[in-house]
Amino acid sequence: MPGKNLSREEAQQRAGLIEVESYRVHLDLTSAPDPAAPTFLSTTTITFRAATPGAASFADLLAPGVRSVTLNGRELDPAQVFDGTRVALDRLEGHNVLVVAADCAYSRTGEGLHRFVDPVDGETYLYTHFEPADARRVFANFEQPDLKAPFTVSVTAPAGWDVYANAVHESVEEQGDARTWRFAPTRPISTYLTAVVAGPYHVVRDHYSRELPDGTRLEIPLAATCRKSLAEHFDAAEILTVTKQGLDFFHQEFDYPYPFGKYDQCFVPEYNIGAMENPGCVTFREEFVFRSKVTEAAYEGRANVVLHEMAHMWFGDLVTMKWWDDLWLKESFADFMGSYGLIGAGTRYRSAWITFANRRKAWAYQQDQYPTTHPITADIRDLEDAKLNFDGITYAKGASVLKQLVAYVGREAFFEGARRYFRRHAFGNTVLGDLLSVLEETSGRDLKAWSSAWLQTSGVNSLTPQVTCDAEGRITELAVLQDGGTPRPHRVAIGLYDRDETGALVRTELVELDVAGARTAAPELAGRPRPALVLVNDEDLTYCKIRFDEVSLETLRTGLGDLSSPLTRALAWSAVWNLTRDALMPARDYLDLVLRFAGQESDIGVLQSLHQQARTALDLYADPTWRAEGARLLAECALRELRAAAPGSDHQLAWARFLASAADGAEHLQLVAGLLDGTARIDGLAVDQELRWEFWLTLAAAGRATTEAIEGELRRDNTASGKQRAVKCLAALPTPGAKAAAWSAVVDSDELPNALVEAQIAGFAQPDQRELTAGYTDAYFELLEPVWAQRSIEIAMRIVGGFFPRLQTEQSTLDATDAWLAAHPQAAPALRRLVLECRDNLARALRAQVCDRG
Ligand SMILES: [Zn+2]
């Protein structure tokens, strides 16, 4: 559709012309409970200034229909001025009032105003999600982050509902079966940050209070909400505890009072992402309301997200990037603050930096090695580019680089820089230079070279120790070699490790140094005895791939699990995983490390990522002729460790899930079936609803579950989550009919909501069903362009990424991908980017298989 994909240039021009004074938005949501009602009435009044009277511009609006458009009292004909994506505005005056009344659509894709009906009780729930540019699906506006304004929102909703928005409500007026909620004006915020959450939500209220440095008191009402049918599982007290710890911590670090009044945290259904930092009205995916037992890693992950979104109240909401090129200005900081805050705020999650090193950075390393990688400060031409940039670079690499910056300029200079940045740019918009200038002021350092090395170039460096010794086995020189792309300045710590009297591998020496260029010597280590292991980037200060000298690698092969420090082990696991991905370590060697040492891993988050990586190594990186043997070994390991794990422990649950994923052969499947029907037991293992669905998926994919049995389980768990799980199980059945049905449900209709699209795709491709799905490769390439043109970008991204034949690890799949890319140079750049990344994963798998073949 013309005008849907707003470009940076158009946004710049419009910002040069227009200054928005205020928005008034009224939404009439009384039609929402009627599933046959496709739309709601949205009325927007925008007052704005135009720098050039007489000029023309446009407002953004994605709506099925427009009832009226009035500009400065002139009635404009909607048929003339509205093209489906934009409202054309001409003859602007110095001061303007625009009123647009539109019929906007309820969403099923999680973009705009999403509508969900709870199968448990039939209740309807609504919430908005707008980033980067979907507020225009709900009200007419100027959809770009640098046109900030105060919003005054009112909502008419069914009488039994609560309504949440960015500000507190000032009045609620009864009107028969409906109530109108009027909210206070917000501070100036960007359109993508506005939010409305409406429905019969369950709510838990609390309060935060703090004395400010000037002696006044800051009072913040707190609320946490979820659907009524999830209330029994809602541990709001834990969420609110982390919330208060975070508010204490960020006030202390940022020295700028929380600017948005109240703080609501709404857990909402069928949410596309983890969470969104709407000022005063944060939305989270409701999978964070745990229905069944989860491990401590899941609680830590949720607490991290709570703090990430809270950090955005300052980084992003108070001070906002001018355009999506500088998305990192908010996401990298929030991502860093998520982990930093878990430790700094004194939460119970002490493993935050281990998780960061092992899981978060893996995402960055993966993304940064795609041919599509980009500098942290990106070149974002338009909104489709923006949509794809919520990626491992903007979040995880950016956060890693900030961690490195703290090591480089020091903690105090870093936070004093942040404090100045907030004071100087409050309620405004910024670019990279605004941040660098405050950091240069507070650190006294010239950061231009640092910025160009770290923020303005792409790619990941590898750091390798080079150890030379004399005849007595003493180090004559230890140097760090840097390769892989542009060399960067790295502040690193180098750890030396040896076995102690108990056999544990412990650190005997740690030195910090600045690595620069291709080779940097560490003279202070000369003369020391040659250690069993040299670890560059110990303590995980910098962002790099860690490599090893041969002696060190051999030490890991024989004793990785003997490393006593959990952070060191996490770094070692991460390094051997990178070696495997880079076809420098055979997949079967990596799996051998998992088989021997995963059982010793104490950190539950690291263990769970080992489980995922083992699965990937087997499915993609191992020589196909060895796969059956590898599968047998992994399944045996899973069962052995499950039986050995402490009853009721997180480790036991993680191994049970891994058994579900790795079960191989009749004995394991029989055990899984027995755990489901109660004829088998493992002491302390509660086979609760989520674990039941894991086991059903195992049986379904193996052809040991009938459609009737899966539907029977759905009757037992007739919930939103149950429905998603059942759909996934049905799609996983090993029959041509099941595959055809899943494919068709996603591709041939746009009736399915986002969550069920995801479930169908997740069930469709199963590792042991390669032959069943091989025939879909051609169909996949044929659907790419139509899907991109016809479906919302959120759904299109899932189909393009999810249906790529990633398990068909053969040269012919690579050839088909290359043929499509060669034949479609003009396809949308964002679509090509997704296909190029899938291609790269496949090429990597083929290289790894060659390595594994030996
Ligand atoms: Zn964020």
Residue 845 is classified by DSSP as H
- pLDDT at 635 (0 to 100): 97
Catalytic residue among 309, 416, 539, 601: 309
| 467 membership: H or E segment, kind and range | strand 462-469
Q: If you ran DSSP here, which 8-state letter would residue 600 be given?
A: G
Give tens-digit pLDDT for 775-807: 999 999 999 999 999 999 999 999 999 999 999
Among 553, 630, 539, smallest CA distance to 853 is for 630
User: Using H for helix, E for strand and C for coil, what is the string for 550-606?
Assistant: HHHHHHHHHHHHHECCHHHHHHHHHHHHHHHHCCCCCHHHHHHHHHHHHHHCCCHHH
Measure 418 CA to ligand 1 centroid, in angstroms: 17
Q: How far away, in angstroms, is 371 Cα from ligand 1 center?
A: 24
DSSP string across 671-692: HHHHHHHTSS--TT----HHHH
Is 539 one of the catalytic residues?
no
What's the whole-number average pLDDT of the chain?
97
Parallel/antiparallel/unpaired status of strands 95-107 and 281-285:
unpaired
Q: What's the 601 CA to ligand 1 centre distance in angstroms?
A: 30
For 47-82, b/e burial (b = at least 16 CB within 10 A) is: ebebeeeeeebbbbbbbeebeebebeeeebebeebb
Beta bridge partners of 533: 497
Residue 1 reports pLDDT greater than 60:
no
- 185 Cα–ligand 1 center, Å: 24
For residue 331, report the distance from its CA to the centre of ligand 1, in Å.
Answer: 5
Q: What are the residue ranges of helices labelled H in 371-465?
A: 383-388, 398-409, 411-425, 432-443, 448-454
How many C-beta neighbours within 10 Å does residue 13 have? Answer: 13
List the structure tokens of 786: 């139509």
The predicted model gives 622-642 an average pLDDT of 97
Going by pLDDT thresholds of 50, 70 and 90, the confidence category of residue 3 is confident
Alpha carbons within 13 A on the beta-carbon side of 273: 19
Tokens 């919930």: give the residue: 719
Q: What six digits make up the tokens of 523?
A: 């003279």
pLDDT at 328 over 90: yes
Cα(1) to ligand 1 centroid in Å equals: 29
Residue 265 has pLDDT above 80, yes or no: yes
Query: Given the DSSP bridges, would you call strands 57-60 and 65-71 parallel, antiparallel or unpaired?
Result: unpaired
How far apart are the CA of 434 and the centre of ligand 1, in A? 20
- Tell the residue number behind the tokens 């946004």, with chain if given: 11
Three-state SS at 775: helix
Half-sphere exposure of 202 (CA within 13 A, CB side): 14
Structure tokens at 487: 């060399």
Residues 407-421, mean pLDDT to the nearest whole number: 94
DSSP label of 287: G
Centre of ligand 1 from the C-alpha of residue 695, in Å: 33
What is the model's pLDDT at position 376?
95
Give the distance (Å) from ligand 1 centre to CA of residue 53: 38
Q: Which two tokens stand for residue 331?
A: 């996401």
For 699-708, the pLDDT digits (tens) are 999 999 999 9
3-state secondary structure of 639: helix
Distance separating alpha carbons of residues 470 and 474, to the nearest angstrom: 5
pTM of the model: 0.97
**Per-residue pLDDT band at 2 (split at 50, 70, 90):** low
Give 339-349 pLDDT, tens digit per residue.
Answer: 999 999 999 99
Shortest CA distance to 335 belongs to which of 294, 282, 393?
393
pLDDT of residue 161: 98
Provide the CA 550 distance to its chain's centre, in angstroms.
36
Task: Tell me how crowded residue 553 is: count the other CB atoms within 10 A of its CB.
Answer: 17
Q: Which of 9, 80, 68, 15 is nearest to 43 (CA)?
A: 68
- The mean pLDDT of 353-363, rounded to a whole number, is 96
Evaluate whether 463 touches 537 at the Cβ level (below 8 Å).
Answer: yes
First to last CA, the chain: 51
Nearest to 229 by CA among 117, 114, 127, 111: 117
The C-alpha R_g of the chain, in whole angstroms, comes to 28
515, 434, 530, 514: which is closest to 475 by C-alpha? 530
Q: Which residue has the tokens 């988050």?
A: 605
Three-state SS for 484? coil
**Would you say 180 and 172 are in contact if contact means Cβ atoms under 8 Å apart?**
yes
With vertex at residue 474, the alpha carbon angle to CA 472 and CA 476, rounded to the nearest 5 degrees, is 120
Structure confidence at residue 366 (pLDDT): 97
Under 8 Å CB-to-CB from 166, ≥6 apart: which residues?
151, 153, 183, 186, 189, 193, 194, 195, 260, 278, 279, 280, 281
132: cis peptide before it, omega within 30°? yes
* C-beta separation of 838 from 780 below 8 A: no
pLDDT at residue 443, rounded to an integer: 95
User: Rounded to an integer, what distance in angstroms lies between the CA atom of residue 629 and that of residue 633?
Assistant: 6
Reduced to 3 states (helix: H, G, I; strand: E, B; else coil), residue 372 is: coil
Which amino acid would we find at residue 93?
E
DSSP codes, 3-68: TSS-BHHHHHHHHHHEEEEEEEEEEE-TTTT-TT--EEEEEEEEEEEESSTT--EEEE---SEEEE
Average confidence (pLDDT) over 272-293: 98
Chain length of the chain? 854
Q: How far is the CA of 198 from the centre of ligand 1 (A)?
A: 23
Distance of alpha carbon 498 from its chain centroid, rounded?
38
Determine the distance separating the centroid of ligand 1 and the alpha carbon of 280, expressed in angstroms.
Answer: 15
* Burial letters 771-807, b for 16+ CB under 10 A, else e: ebbeebbeebbebbeebbeebbbbbbbbbbebbbbbb
Lookup result for tokens 């790795």 = 662
What CA–CA distance (Å, rounded) separates 404 from 408? 6
Given the structure tokens 């647009």, which residue do they identify? 100
Residue 204 CB neighbour total at 10 angstroms:
17
Question: What pLDDT does 673 receive?
Answer: 98
Closest CA to 783 of 754, 755, 761: 761
Mean pLDDT of 152-169: 98
Interatomic CA distance for residues 467 and 615, integer angstroms: 34
What residues have a C-beta under 5 A from ligand 1, the ion? 331, 334
Q: 629, 642 in Cβ contact below 8 A?
A: no
User: So what's the pLDDT on residue 72?
Assistant: 98
User: In 10 A of CB 723, how many CB atoms?
Assistant: 17
Question: Per residue in 455-482, pLDDT tens?
Answer: 999 999 999 999 999 999 999 999 999 9
- Say how many Å lie between the CA of residue 309 and the centre of ligand 1: 6
DSSP 8-state assignment for residue 395: I
How confident is the model over 91-150, as pLDDT tens digits? 999 999 999 999 999 999 999 999 999 999 999 999 999 999 999 999 999 999 999 999
Using DSSP's 3-state secondary structure scheme, residue 527 falls into coil
Say how far apart CA 223 and CA 203 lie, in whole Å.
7
Helices (H) and strands (E) in the chain, counts: 29, 28
Residues 6+ apart with CB under 8 A from 623: 587, 588, 849, 852, 853
- Measured in degrees and rounded to the nearest 5, phi and psi for residue 589 equal -70, -40
Pairing of strands 462-469, 545-546: parallel
List pLDDT tens digits, range 219-236. Answer: 999 999 999 999 999 999
- The pLDDT value recorded for residue 175 is 93
